[in-house]
A and B are shown apart, each in its own frame.
Chain A
């Protein structure tokens, strides 16, 4: 452990985050997506969006709970990957479900609550992704931290996006709900203070 540099760890994490995508590429090229490849791709990228969002959101509390102050060094990369998978998910939906058809997109974005919250979550991630560089951190100072509390609504909207799609089993929705709730506990102070 001691000989591994931060750079090496970050590189390892970078590659690890690409593994789902590599797996997906393998499934595509090996023709293993089944009869409804669109559905598999959309669900796969959606799943990894919420996994990475939860992981990103967990680093700050985990740092305190586990006494590992260095955990935060990986937050930006994980956050950007969450943004990457969410954007891919959105792009796939636009292409294969909405067919880049404006009238369909308009209908979905105005009539379907789960689509609306999902889109909003993606939209709120844009300013965070855009300010994830050193320059922005320095320039925005305290406002940077405030801006990145957009993760709070993103987590809630992301969870709603999943919950509103439940047809028959609440298993995953409940599991994610409990995890996200736990991750909100140490942030209660901030939430109450800003009121």
Chain B
């Protein structure tokens, strides 16, 4: 069965519609250092940091049949930045926004180890030099049956991984979140069942898929700490917990990594965690989701789609696999 791959759009094509992060200013830590390529602004015309700060975020016009965009309703930046699962800062959805400020995200570096030629410790600035920032508007579906549409800024994970030159022995990529108990109060809790630090992983072909994205910003701004600053993964066809936040380590390996949630409850949180309305989590039906923001008069209860609606792009990755067994 021939499944259409996600179109590989040259950046020249999406330039007029995209919001760009100005790399040098980001590296200098100039805060919101965006060059918005809106209607009045040419893609190459630089915008000063202060001007960028005053820009209201304008959703990018969706391109026809482009899986990188969706024109579904989005929460506001404030809403997306105040409703987070980031157990390192507490279990309540409002905890991360309250406590994640304590996390120091500058300087930041990622340690690359394992089955690759270009390994070592890479400062974030060096990593960002290797890639060009683009915008993707993705659906985010949580296993708790809520979902949001988020405009991310970042780059395809494949672009980064290629730079590390993984060897033939690299069959999986393992990601690890920051472990810093003095800054992350959730890691100090004795009643938490998570064995810190948080670990996630992808099969190599999943990691190299054009939809798989590394985000450094959202809504035209740098990523807030609670949303996984300074750099996080976004895998739109999988449940949210796969999209690991605040990454400090990338490890190429030949064996499937044991992910954090898999360690806690393997019967509930599988390694693949593909969004699938047909396979219910033992505690939550996955047939429906609440698309946030919702209100009591308009709860936005919608049917969940297989692979979160990205089946056309990713179904081929799982051809012949029993998705009930490999959930």
Contacts and interface: CB of A to CB of B under 8 A. Distances in A.
19 contacts: A28-B296, A35-B82, A35-B148, A35-B292, A35-B293, A36-B83, A36-B294, A37-B295, A37-B296, A38-B290, A108-B285, A112-B282, A112-B283, A113-B282, A114-B283, A167-B91, A168-B264, A169-B91, A170-B191
Interface string A68-84: 00000000000000000
Contact of A35 (B191, B282, B288, B294): B294
A38 B294 contact: yes
Interface residues of A, number: 26
Contacts of B295: 37
A168 B282 contact: no
A36 B87 contact: no
Contacts of A33: 296
A35 to B, nearest CB: 4
A91 to B, nearest CB: 12
A174 interface: yes
Contact of A34 (B83, B192, B280, B282): B83
Interface string B100-132: 000000000000000000000000000000000
B83 A41 contact: no
Contacts of A37: 294-296, 299
Given A36-B146, A37-B296, A107-B280, A168 B285 contact: no
Nearest to A103: B287
A39 B87 contact: no
Contact of A168 (B87, B280, B284, B296): B87
Nearest to B268: A167
B280 A35 contact: no
A114 B146 CA distance: 19
B321 interface: no
Contact of A111 (B87, B280, B293): B280
A14 interface: no
A34 B82 contact: yes
B285 to A, nearest CB: 6
B296 to A, nearest CB: 6
Interface string A98-129: 01000010011001111000000000000000
A64 interface: no
A136 interface: no
A39 B300 CA distance: 13
B287 A104 contact: yes
A39 B91 CA distance: 14
A26 interface: no
**Which residue, A39, A112, A167, has most C-beta atoms of chain B within 10 A?**
A167
Nearest to A115: B283
B24 interface: no
B193 interface: yes
Contacts of A107: 280, 285, 287
B93 interface: yes
Contacts of B294: 35-38
A164 interface: yes
B205 interface: no
Contacts of A164: 283
Contacts of A165: 283
A62 to B, nearest CB: 28
Given A35-B148, A37-B296, A112-B284, 5 more contacts: A35-B79, A35-B293, A38-B294, A96-B290, A169-B91
A97 to B, nearest CB: 8
B189 A169 contact: yes
A93 B91 CA distance: 22
A44 B299 CA distance: 17
B49 interface: no
B315 interface: no
A169 to B, nearest CB: 5
